[in-house]
Structure 1
Amino acid sequence: MSLHKKICPVPFDQQPLNEYKALRKSPLFASSATELSRFISRLSIVFSSVILLCLAINSMSLSTTKISLSTVGYDILCSLLSIELLLIRLYLGWSYVLKRLFSASIFYEESGWYDGQLWIKTVDILTQDRLVGLYQVQPLVIRIRRLLVIISCASIFLMLSLLLL
């Protein structure tokens, strides 16, 4: 149960700090919270795996003499788009938790969609949540957003170059 049960009527799983802790424990989101070099190496593993999968599919469906530079380019584009989807998922998850941490009021549901409530955070809880959001979550959101912009620009550049081939 929650430490703030008398103060906070929000169910344990819907409290922003507990949502943050749960997100941090999940394997996908925990990897994005590691140091930047480790996170990029994990993204590189995903990128390489998708390229190998695409190349394997192409080699089975086409003869190896028909695999051209544009085919490899499309495989790389597919890998970049998969990284973009992964980064979008990470961005949406972390930004949702950040919004809930920064918010002074919390919308929650006790048992279903029809009985939503609004709770105003106390000053202590609001301060704690905003500090966690500011120093723990916001740097992750900024990092993911920057990586997403870089990968998107690379995808657009590759798409345009493939159209010109």
Structure 2
Amino acid sequence: MLRLQFPRYAPAYGEVDKLQARRSWVVLPITSVRCPLSRVKALKDESAGGGGASGGFAGQSWDPGLEIEVPFEQRPVNEYSSLRSSLLYSWGELSPGSFFLRLGGLWLVTFTVLGAPIAAASFKPSQDPIRFVLAAGIGTLLLVSIVVLRIYLGWSYVGDRLLSAVIPYEESGWYDGQMWVKPPEVLARDRLLGSYKVKPVIKLLKQTLLGTGVLLVTAVSLFIFAAPVKDFLYSLSQPKEEILAASTTKKPDLKKEELLRLPVEVMNDDDLAAAAAKAADGRPVYCRDRFYRAMAGGQYCNWDDLLN
């Protein structure tokens, strides 16, 4: 509201009497003056004492007449303001140091809570620490990459709408979509926002996605070749005499299921027989088969042997 203060006397043009005939201006007393007022909408952000959520531009509370036909939440400038106030998408406007620090904290928390317990179920940390760390790190890095990709998609969508001269919008639902051509003033403002506020964020997110992709490929390659490289390094660290002795006394590298299905020739190989007995947990191998168990009478066998 504008307030104007007038003095009690105002100039008026007219003639008073013959003595003042040469005078063209006199002062007349007045009691009140009414002036027409025009109402102007102010920004709620400014009235609240803030400078706006978009750094000099109108935030979510700006409702100019030029954009009145587009719903409030579908206006590009308001979508940009929503991104800035979002808990996740606001990471994009952080400085590179703060941004990577948050990503590192997310990776560490996810590695501790999810990655390590899941990887420990497949690879024991005490027996295979390299593959355990790689498996947990790959899963955690994949989750972090998905988070960065989600942030990038949100900023890329808003950036395209800010830089476009024509944008689609929905009046009340998907079935009544419309196209809106931006006025020159709105287009200039949106393109300034898109060029100086959104494009640097998209550039940082692209570089981050590229870096996480390279790390993922490297970690997967190391995980695939971890066992051969480990054997190669182990062979280099041992003398040749120990390698020959180990190759002659090494037990067959067979799985437990294969050891329980060995042919009759196992009787001629003590190492295979010992390995098969160890795989059977000290019980006769026929306990695992219903037919041979019935033929042998089922001695020294438990019902759980058929389930394991």
Superposition TM-score tier, normalisation by shorter sequence:
over 0.9
Secondary structure (helix, strand or coil) at the match of 1:27 reads coil
Say whether the 8 Å CA contact 1:58–1:67 is kept in structure 2: no
How does the TM-score come out when normalised to structure 2? 0.51
Quick one: which amino acid aligns to residue 69 of structure 2? P
Indicate yes or no: 2:81 matched with 1:21.
yes
Determine the structure 2 residue equivalent to 1:34: 94
Choose from 140, 162, 165 the match for 2:201.
140
| Deviation by residue 1:74-125 (Cα, 9 ceiling, x = unmatched) | 1111111111101110110000000000000110001111101111000010
SS in 1 for 2:167: strand
Once the two structures are aligned, what percentage of the paired residues are identical? Answer: 33
- Give how far 1:68 is off: 2.5
- The within-5 A match list for 1:9-158 is 9-53=69-113, 54-59=115-120, 64-158=125-219
Cα distance in 2 for residues equivalent to 1:87 and 1:9: 34
1:45-73, Cα deviation, whole Å (9 max, x unpaired):
11101111221344467655345311110
Contact 2:111 2:140 (C-alpha < 8 Å) held by counterparts: yes
Q: Report the Cα distance in structure 2 between the residues aligned to 1:163 and 1:24, rounded to whole angstroms.
A: 41
RMSD (Å), alpha carbons:
1.7
Q: Who wins on radius of gyration, i.e. which is larger? A: 2
Unaligned segments of structure 1, at least 5 residues: none
Question: Is the contact made by 2:134 and 2:219 (CA closer than 8 Å) also made in structure 1?
Answer: yes
Distance 1:163 1:61 in 2: 15
Which stretch shifts more, 1-10 or 114-123?
1-10
* Aligned-partner Cα distance in 2 for 1:8–1:146: 38
Change (3 A) 1:21 1:62: same
| SS of equivalent residue, structure 2 residue 65 | coil
Aligned residues: 165
Residue identity opposite 1:79 in structure 2? T
Deviation at 1:5, TM superposition (A): 3.3
Structure number with greater CO (CA < 8 Å, separation at least 6) is 1
Check whether the contact 1:73–1:162 (CA below 8 A) recurs between aligned residues: yes
Q: What is the CA–CA distance in structure 1 between the aligned matches of 2:218 and 2:141, rounded to whole Å?
A: 11
Scaled by the length of structure 1, the TM-score of the pair is 0.93
Which 5+ residue runs of structure 2 have no aligned equivalent? 1-60, 227-308
Secondary structure at the aligned position of 2:88 is classed as helix
CA shift, 1:8, in A, is 3.7
2:76 maps to amino acid: P
Name the amino acid aligned to 1:135: Y
